[in-house]
Amino acid sequence: MAVAILQKFDSDMMTRWAPLSIYGDGNCAFRAVSLALFRTENLHEYVRLMTALEMIDHQLHYDVSSPTYSGALQDDRVLTPPYTQLLYDVTKIGTPITLMHIYAIGSAFGCVIKSYIPPTVSVGLGNSPYSVTVVGRNVQGQADVRVTLMWTMMSVPRDTDPYDASHIILLAPKVTANIGDRGEECNFEETDNVVDKDPDATSWCIVCTRQVTARQYAVDCDFCGVWCHIRCQKGMVLCIGLYKVLYMFCHYTSVNDTASVH
């Protein structure tokens, strides 16, 4: 559906970007970031965990109601929920997120994220606050964009219909390689770095998110199957342990909330 939306509202994007399908289960933003950083959607819960920890540890960067709010998101056109609601949403698996959460994702992984929404009449023909380069806490603004996310819909809206974004996908840059006298367009899967038997192949460490090569391979994580640096091995175990604790806490809280309602 994202392809049809781009073709209708911003066809030039199709010459430079390839929309990648992301499973829609309320975790789409985290799945898209997981795919961009780790080449698999399966680490979306890990991405959610690290985002939650970022927001818990640095409340003043995400609580817009605080008089000492110092976050990077300063656009008054963006309706940001209260801090408690932001935390509830990020710690409950299957719950969609807001633009503020994307700032937290970028901060958690130390990367610049490009947020993009098609320029329809209802969103201001390109003047939307959701089309923005997201530079979170302690992230270098001059750094290259690591993740490009598109806010999309489950159907193509008419020109004047409200653009009610209900899904987020990953946009992968298209790369053109000259082969002989002809050009051949390569997609994301063919050109991105993949850790394989090639000792010089590169990917991204699950713990520190920095580049890791096959020569630095230490262990194959039992939790996700992704490689990590030797020096990050203990960190990987720690992160998984934190994930389990947070998941159990959120599940317990959810059960108690439901019980109190009845």
Q: What is the extent of the structural domain holding 184?
A: 2-192
Number of domains observed in the structure of the chain: 2
For residue 96, give both structure tokens.
């969609």
pLDDT of amino acid 163: 77
Nearest one of 54, 35, 28 to 167, comparing CA atoms: 28
Domain boundary among 192, 214, 242: 192
Q: Write down the pLDDT at residue 224.
A: 43
Q: Does 170 share its domain with 147? A: yes
Q: Tell me how far apart the alpha carbons of residues 108 and 29 are, in angstroms, rounded to a whole number.
A: 14
CA separation, residue 151 to residues 30, 31, 41, 148, 154 (Å): 13, 13, 17, 10, 11
Q: Do 227 and 205 meet the contact criterion of CB atoms below 8 Å apart?
A: yes
Q: Are 187 and 194 in contact (CB under 8 A)?
A: no
Which pLDDT does position 123 carry in this prediction? 52
45 and 130 share one domain: yes
Which of 143, 165, 192 is a domain's end point? 192
Q: What is the CATH number of the domain that holds 9?
A: 3.90.70.80
Cβ neighbours of 245 (radius 10 Å): 11
CA angle (69, 74, 77) in 5-degree steps: 125
Give the end of a domain, one of 150, 167, 192. 192
Residues 158 and 240 in one domain: no
pLDDT at 154: 72
Same domain membership, residue 155 and residue 205: no
Q: What is the pLDDT of residue 50?
A: 95
What is residue 230's predicted lDDT score, i.e. its pLDDT?
A: 56
Whether residues 207 and 146 share a domain: the answer is no
| Same domain (yes/no): 74, 128 | yes
Contact status, residue 71 vs residue 61, Cβ threshold 8 Å: yes
Return the pLDDT at 10.
80
Residue by residue, pLDDT tens for the chain (262 residues) are 788 888 788 888 888 888 888 998 999 999 999 999 988 899 999 999 999 999 999 999 999 999 999 999 999 889 899 999 999 999 999 999 999 999 999 999 999 999 999 886 555 555 788 899 999 999 988 888 999 999 987 777 776 777 778 899 999 887 543 433 434 443 333 333 333 434 555 566 655 666 666 555 444 443 344 556 656 654 444 444 455 445 544 544 454 554 444 4
| One domain for residues 36 and 154 | yes
